[in-house]
Structure 1
C-alpha cells in the first residue's frame, strides 16, 4: 500500500496548523479526493474535527506510545484514500527526552517513518526575512526529514509577504501559501485543548470558511504535488489493533465522557466486541448485559452537579460493580470516586466505588506520557500487563484510600504518584491507555 502523504507541522503550538489542517482536509474533500487524516501524539480532541472536515475517521499516530506494529497497522487505515494528511503536535521536533519502542513521540519521527514531507506552518507576525532563518533551521536540523515547504500565517500586508518571501527564496525554501491574519477563524479552547467538535453549533460553517481561506491564499496543486509516497514497514507477523478488555463493553459517550482513542474502539469492534454506548449525562444506566463498563475521560468538573443527581446512572453503575468490572480513565476515574470538588469549591458526591476525592479548586497541571505495569487485573488484562498511555488533567487528589492499580512511571522512568487504584471489581487511572508493550 502506498498513498501519498504530508505532515502539517509547525515550530510551536499556537501557530495555526489546525486551521490549515481543517482547511486542506475540506478543500481536497470538496475537490473529490478521499483524504485520510491522522493526528500525531496523544491528542484525543483533534481527530473528531478531522472527521467532520473530510468524512473519514482520524487516528492518532504516536512513536513513543505505540510499538512499530501498531503504527503500521494504523497507517494502513489510509488504504483506498487518495492522500494522507497528518497533523503534528507542539513543535515539529518536540518529544520526550528518552526514546520508547519506536521513537520519542515527535511529529518529525512520524514524517520520517512514513516518508511524509513536512509542510511547516510559520507564524511570521513580527518578523520578515528572519523567518527564513527559522525555517532553514527546521529543514536542516534533521537531514533525513522530508521537507515540502512552508505556509506563511498571520501575514500583515502584501509588503510584509514580499519581504518574508524574499528571505525564503534566498534560502531555497518553497512557499506553498501565505495566509493573512484572520483571528475570526480561531477555534475556542478550554483547559484541555480545543472545545470538542460536537459542542460547536457552527462547526460546519467554520470548516467551510477554513477551506475557502486556504483556497484563496494557498497553492493547493503544489501542496498535493509535494506529497510523498507512504512507506509502511511491516514488523513481525500481522500486527493488530489492541484487543478488547471484554466481549460486551458499555462505554459512556456524551459531552462528559468523550476522551477515548479512536484506534481502541476500532480495535475492539474489529475483534468482535460489542460496544454498548450510554449517556450518564442523560441519566442512562449501563446496559445490564455488559461484561465491562468503561468510563472514558472528559469534563466531569463542568457537569458535576448533573452527574451527582443522575440517580439511574449511579444506581446502575453500582449494581454492575457488585459482580463485574468497571473501569474509569481520568474524568471517568474521578466519577468513580467519593466526591469531586469543582472550581468554585462546591463538593459533589460521585459514585463512591473508590475512595478517591479530587478537586478542581486546587488546580495543577499533570501532563506527560505514562508507562504502567498493572499490579492487579483490569478486566481481561492480567496483572503484569505493561501499558503505554498519556496523562493530562488539572485536578488534585485530596484523598485516595485504595490500593494502587499499577506501578506508573513517566517517559524517563521516574515514578509518578498518580498510580490509579482498585477496589473489588472497580479500577481507575488518571492516564489514558494508548497501547500495550509487547
Structure 2
C-alpha cells in the first residue's frame, strides 16, 4: 500500500497523537493531551498515512531562542517525531525530516532545535548536541551549603502554584532570565501552562507541585515584596529503619536581578533544610549552576551530565550572523551538509561582540567541518577546539581553531530549562 505525507488537520489529531503515544510507550493524562492539542501548530505538523492508518508523526513549534550576545532568534522546535514499529527502515523518517527542514527554510528560520529521545538518530540529519543538562542527587544529610553575605535579607514564603498572580510573577522571573543565558526559550502564548502541568501519574509518589517565592525582606512591613526568584518542587516521603529519609525533587528554580545570588542561595538552603528529608534531586540544571560553588562536597552530589538540546543550522549564513562573538573573528569555513546542500561550500564569518557578517566566499578555507559541528558549537557550550581534538574539525590555517573557539565561546553555559 502506498503512503502519503500530508499536513495534519484538527480532525486527525487524535489518531496522530495515539500513534505518537504508542511509539513512545506512554499514555498521557487528559491534561497533557489537552495542552499539547492546544499548542499544536497544525500548519507545522505532518503525518505519514497508509490508508486511514497514521504510521509517522512529526511537528514543530515556533519558538524564540536566546543566542550568545542576547539576541532572540525565531527557531523551529522539532517535536512529536515517531515512526510506527511496523514501518521501520522504509524512509518514513527521512521523508518527514526532508519536508520539515524545507519548510523551516521557507519560513525564514535559520535554526532548528530538538530534544532527542534517542540521540543517535539525528546526527545524520545535521543536528549536533548544543546544550547539556546537569542532574544531581545531593546527600543533604552530609552536604552543607554556605550562602553569600546578604542571603538573610531574602524572605521566603510558600505560594500556591495555582494562584494566577503567583504564576504571573514566576513567569516574569523566567522571562527576565531568558535573555541572560543562551539556549533558553522565550515562552510563547500557551507555553506558560507547561511548567505547572502536574499530572498525578508523573509524581512518582511525591506530593503535588509546591512553590516558594524569594522576596526582598528589607522592608519588614511590606507583605507583598519584590519577587527575586522562585522554586517549584515536590517532596517524596520515605522512611527507613533509622527514621525519615524523604526526597526533595526540584523541578524549577530561577532568580534574577542584583540580588539573584542571595535569592538563589536562600532557595537552595531552604530545599536543603526541609524537615524529614535527606536527599535533594535536581533533574535539569545548567552545567555551570552557581550552587556547585556553595556546597561542601560535590562528590556526594552525584553529578551526571547528559545531552539536552540538539541544534541544526538550516541557513548557515543567517544563523552565524544572528549571534555575536566573544572575541574578534575572521575565519572561512568549508561546510559539508549533504542533507541541506544549500549550506555546502565556503562561508566567511567576520564579527565581534557588536555583530557579525557571514557571506559566501571563494577565499581559501581556514576550517573544514560539517554543519553538525557548527550546530554543536553555535550556542557556545561545545568548543570548536574540543571538536578539532576529536578530529571533527580540520584546521587548514594555523591558529584558526584557537581563534574561532575563543570567539564562539559563551560566558555562561547554554541551557534548555524544559523540553517540548
The structure richer in strand per residue is: 2
The answer, yes or no, to whether TM exceeds 0.5 is no
Q: What range describes the TM-score normalised by the shorter chain of this pair?
A: under 0.3
Normalising by structure 2, we get a TM-score of 0.27
Higher RCO (Cα < 8 Å, 6 or more apart): 2
User: Could you state the TM-score of these two structures normalised by the residue count of structure 1?
Assistant: 0.27
